[in-house]
Amino acid sequence: MQVMYFAWVRERIGLPREVVDTSAKTVAELVDELRAREARYEAAFEDVSALRVALDQELADFAASLEGVQEVAFFPPMTGG
């Protein structure tokens, strides 16, 4: 699946996107797999309460199923003004 990173998440990981082969069933499991990769992922996902996630461009939560999902995007909360 395609995993995309935005704003400071991208800065910490050093990639805007990547294709990830995963056995994760939920977003939370995917995050756990990513965090286990190396320190830069651990830093990016150290506080998931500071992150939002979208599955196939629809906002979701970290308990959401990844079944059938083609794209996961991680980003900080957005503010308007």
Reported as a pLDDT band with limits 50, 70 and 90, residue 80 is low
The answer to whether position 41 is within a domain reads: yes
Helix (H) / strand (E) containing 39: helix 39-44
Domain boundaries, position 42:
2-75
SS3 assignment, position 71: strand
The answer to whether position 81 is within a domain reads: no
Rounded to whole angstroms, the Cα distance separating 68 from 51 reads 22
Q: Which token pair is 60?
A: 């979701």
The answer to whether position 14 is within a domain reads: yes
- CATH number of the CATH domain containing 25: 3.10.20.30
Work out the angle at residue 60's Cα, subtended by the Cα atoms of residues 57 and 62, and round it to the nearest 5 degrees.
Answer: 130
Of 4-13, 26-35, 71-80, the least confident = 71-80
- On whether the CB atoms of residues 10 and 77 are closer than 8 A, the answer is no
pLDDT confidence of residue 77: 87
How many structural domains comprise the chain?
1
Q: What's the pTM?
A: 0.93
The answer to whether position 80 is within a domain reads: no
pLDDT tens sequence across 25-49: 999 999 999 999 999 999 999 999 9
The answer to whether position 51 is within a domain reads: yes
79 has a pLDDT exceeding 70: no
